[in-house]
Amino acid sequence: MKFLFDKNISEKFGDKRISKYTVPYCQNTINEWKENYATHRALKSYVSKVFDFAIKMNVLTDNPMTYVSFSTGKNSHETKKEIYLEADELKEFLYYCENDSFPLTYPFFRLLAFTGIRKGEALALTWNDVDFKDRQLTINKTAALDEKNKVVATPPKTSSSNRTISLDQRTVDILKQWRKDQRKYLLAYGQNAMQPNQLVFASKNNNYIALTRFNNVLTRICDNHDFPRLKIHGFRHTHCSLLFEAGLSVKEVQDRLGHSDVQTTLNIYTHVTKKQKDIVAEKFSNYVNF
Q: Give the tens place of pLDDT for each residue, 25-58.
A: 888 888 887 776 656 777 888 899 999 999 999 9
Is residue 264 situated within a structural domain? no
> Rounded distance, CA 283 to CA 147, Å?
56
Between 201 and 2, name the one with better pLDDT.
201
Same domain, 55 and 162: no
Query: Which are the contacts of 210, defined by CB distance < 8 A and separation ≥ 6?
Result: 151, 203
Least confident interval from 13-17, 91-95, 217-221? 13-17
Residue 1: per-residue pLDDT: 46
CATH number of the CATH domain containing 134: 1.10.443.10
β partners of residue 241: none
Q: How large a percentage of the chain has pLDDT more than 90?
A: 44
> Rounded distance, CA 202 to CA 40, Å?
53
pLDDT digits (tens, 9 = 90+) for 200-211: 999 999 999 999
Same domain, 134 and 203: yes
Judge whether 68 and 31 are in contact, CB under 8 Å. Answer: no
Confidence of residue 75 (pLDDT cuts 50, 70, 90): very low
Residue-number span of the structural domain to which 221 is assigned? 87-237
Is residue 109 situated within a structural domain? yes
Between 251 and 66, name the one with better pLDDT.
66
Q: Whole-model pTM?
A: 0.67
Among 79, 103, 137, which residue terminates a domain? Answer: 79
Neighbours of 116 (CB within 10 A): 23
Residue 262: per-residue pLDDT: 66
Is residue 254 situated within a structural domain? no
Domain count, the chain: 2
Same domain, 23 and 95: no
Nearest one of 80, 66, 162 to 121, comparing CA atoms: 162
> Rounded distance, CA 180 to CA 7, Å?
63
Is residue 110 situated within a structural domain? yes
